[in-house]
Chains A and B, each alone.
Chain A
Amino acid sequence: MLHFSVWKTTLILLVSMAGALFTLPNLLSDEQAQNLPSFMPSNKLHLGLDLKGGSHLLLQVQIGVIITERMEATKDDIRSSLREKKIGYTGLKVADQSVTLKVRDAIQMEDALIAIKGLSQPVTTSLLQGASVRDIVVTQTSDTAITVALSDEERISRVKSAVLQSIEILRRRIDELGTTEPTIQPQGDDRILVQVPGVEPDALKNIIGKTAKLTFHEVDSRTDPNGIIPGDSFVLPDIENKAQLYVLKKRAILTGENLVDAQAGFSQQTSEAIVSFKFDTAGAKKFGNYTASHVGEPFAIVLDNEVISAPRINEAIRGGSGQISGNFTVEGANELSILLRAGALPAPLDILEERSVGPSLGADSVEAGKIASIVGVVGVVLFILFSYGLFGLFANIALMINLLLIFGVLSLLQATLTLPGIAGIVLTIGMAVDANVLIFERIREEARNGKSPIAAIETGYNRALTTILDANITTFIAAAILFYLGTGPVKGFAVTLSIGIITSVFTAFVVTRLLVSVWIRRKRPKSIPI
């Protein structure tokens, strides 16, 4: 147990030095860390949002909206298909995420079913079943009634693509804020986790809370918004003055999908904040044609079901660019331009969970964590020195190497250090000496039983090993489960605790043993000072 071959000793020294090397960048300023020679690691610890300040949002895509939108499209398809086949129907509507209708004449039921089934498409993302899975399920619910719903596969594929699309849009929007290292990732089936360091939650919520669906509609000035609305029209309120209502044609002239650019700026005439935009070629042509044939009439610019502006067309607008002036503040114009550039979300997002920490609290926590760690380490070190004398010194050297290894591994893995994570490290420090305590107590016992120093130490290490492993594996199991369960800060606790358990077994068992063996070879002690 006390014999170390040269390569073993070298290996232990190398591991310890690697720990120091990976910890080093954390002690340097950013600039110094970047200027380290390229063969040296320069990765710093990743601080969690609770230490750095920033916002954490858990979002959920409103699946219902997506499914309903999809069913609306199906409804239109069904209508034209049945009309084409001259099949009479009534009560065609979308309800409860499915389309229902009644066939006028039960005799035509077969034809209707065939026609509607003919509309179905294979679900492309289904890997295993291939083309056998269709996107819609058509069920006959009575002699004359039919219900059409999405198949599970289609539903899953819709949700998946909506989540991915939302992530892409969110990334574009958040990048506009000019922050570093935002985390935007899917969670579960229909959720998105957004973590942005250093950004106030309000700013973040403003730019992710809007769907940003931009549409241009013809205004029907002749119809009274409070009267009977024709089937092809709908009523929307003004964004500022909600009492002012507009009657608009449902069919959009153009949508945000035709935009290629949007910029915030100032109007040259009135010097108020505006958003200027540019259409793509197809959009420009459509817009030009429309404005040419509707000179003198108003049209509405609609954002997320609110009219932001309803200007009158003074002349045909060709060239595909225009501007929106709608009583914007400068920030408001800026925000809108960001949203328009990034594009619309496929569906609104709900905020399920928000955790944000301001920079001052983060800095305070870092400070508190530092002081607590230093006091904790110094307390433990003094106590161990007092309890075990020279052997305590060995244990303390091992403890320092342990700390270097913990920070080294954290830096190497780019794991996130949170405040509970710091607590995990401090706890590890307290518990790490346990292995050494077990060993040293055993050595004391063996020495009392009359064993020679070397024999006592040999037996001490030997006998304590199984106990150390059993005791640490059990704690490790608990930490691993916590890692699996936890999110954010709590996960950080599990990470440092797990890393600490592994490194402390190494340092307490291997490093102290090396130190003790060197000491024995040098001093050839007659008794053990323990």
Chain B
Amino acid sequence: MKGFKFVPAGTKIPFIGFRYISLALSIFMLVASAGLFFTKGLNYGIDFLGGTTIEIKTLDGPADLTKLRSTVGSLGLGDVQLQTFGAPDEVLIKIQAQTGGDGNAQSSIDAVKAALAVSNGDQIEYRAVEVVGPTVSGELVTDSIIAVCLAIGAVLLYIWVRFEWQFSVAAVVALVHDVAITIGFFSLLQLDFNISIIAALLTIVGYSLNDTVVVFDRVREFLRKYKKMDMTELLDLSINSTLSRTILTSVTTLIALLSLVIFGGEVIKGLSLAMIWGVIIGTYSSVFVASPILLALGVKRDWSKNKVTSEATNP
């Protein structure tokens, strides 16, 4: 039983040769992300803005959004958004943060429940209620920023210890690139940006780095092996020889993630979508961002003699 090779052996794709095109593409995506972020902004969830979400199910058939909207909208709770959530009889009601302290969000739920009891009687099932007060949402914003920065800092340090500083910088630039463009992706599609998206961002950090490390490991190996090879050629060789792995791993991860998007339900759709995007952009960046940066920074070619000899004596 022999396997099927999705990527033929010995490909010689001049990835590094595409670096100006990829540079243009990356800059375009980064600028677009920044532009979207500052104009359109993110569709922040209640985790970060504070507020209330109420997920209801109408037991008497598909929900009448217009009617529900006018019922809930007339309560004077400020900005209220309603949307179906996975099925026509499931509705997510999102109410903006109420002014005047943590207690007022609670009374907003009571008001909605009372109004819906009048308009729909007992044909409403409350599937989930989330209330995040201003205190907690403020802390979640800080904690999230700290976590993402901490994660990037920690891996910067790890790569620095394991490789040279040039590798570390290249990997982290690729990471920041991935995180920034993922945020742009969320701004473009106006997907709910909540705490589970931060979880996705951190996983993307891990995944993207995983990819970059695999390529860099190979670069390091070839640097020792082919001492005279041109750096561009060496990087191309490294990327090509890990290409099959890069693609296979991306495909298996995408299979798993697609299954989550399609079958996993609305609650984790955002998380799964973010990660799918992250896998794509992470794979792109390890080939087209991290490696060209490594080329631009230049690496020390004479690795310490000890390492080379110990490697050589290893059977």
Contacts and interface: CB of A to CB of B under 8 A. Distances in A.
B144 interface: yes
Interface residues of A, number: 81
A462 B311 CA distance: 12
Interface stretch (B63-71, B196-204, B299-307): B196-204
A474 B155 contact: yes
A198 B32 CA distance: 46
Interface in B166-224: 195-196, 198-199, 202-203, 205-207, 209-211, 213-214, 217-218, 221
Contacts of B57: 360
A354 to B, nearest CB: 4
Interface string A422-459: 11001101110110011011001100100000000000
Is chain A's interface secondary structure helix, strand, loop, or mixed overall? helix
A185 B304 CA distance: 54
B254 A353 contact: no
Nearest to A497: B203
A497 B217 CA distance: 23
Given A383-B255, A430-B255, A478-B151, A490 B195 contact: yes
B128 interface: yes
Contacts of A390: 1-2
B195 A372 contact: no
Chain B CB count within 10 A is highest, among A353, A437, A473, for A353
Contacts of B131: 351, 353-355
B210 A471 contact: yes
Contacts of B6: 387
Contacts of A481: 147, 150-151, 154, 202
A74 interface: no
A82 B244 CA distance: 87
B214 A471 contact: yes
Interface stretch (A112-120, A221-229, A299-307, A373-381): A373-381
Interface stretch (A7-15, A146-154, A361-369): A361-369
Is chain B's interface secondary structure helix, strand, loop, or mixed overall? helix
Interface stretch (B14-22, B35-43, B132-140, B287-295): B132-140
Contacts of B214: 438, 467, 471
Nearest to B53: A355
A431 B257 CA distance: 10
Contacts of B13: none
B119 to A, nearest CB: 19
Contacts of B9: 444-445, 448
Contact of B251 (A383, A477, A486): A383
Contacts, number: 242
B242 A490 contact: no
Interface residues of B, number: 80
A201 interface: yes
A423 B268 contact: yes
B178 to A, nearest CB: 12
Contact of B259 (A201, A375, A471): A375
A371 B263 CA distance: 6
B275 interface: yes
Contacts of A372: 259-260, 262-265
A478 B151 CA distance: 5
Interface string B115-151: 0000000000111111111011000000110110011
Given A358-B128, A372-B263, A477-B154, 14 more contacts: A365-B265, A372-B265, A373-B259, A376-B255, A379-B258, A386-B3, A422-B268, A427-B203, A441-B244, A462-B314, A473-B158, A477-B151, A493-B199, A497-B203
30 contacts: A205-B106, A352-B133, A353-B136, A355-B130, A375-B263, A376-B255, A390-B1, A390-B2, A419-B264, A423-B264, A423-B272, A430-B252, A430-B255, A434-B253, A437-B245, A437-B249, A441-B244, A441-B245, A448-B10, A471-B214, A474-B158, A474-B209, A478-B203, A481-B147, A485-B147, A489-B196, A490-B196, A494-B199, A529-B3, A530-B3
Query: Nearest 8 A-B pairs (CB), nearest first?
Result: A430-B256, A475-B206, A368-B265, A478-B206, A430-B253, A376-B259, A389-B1, A388-B3
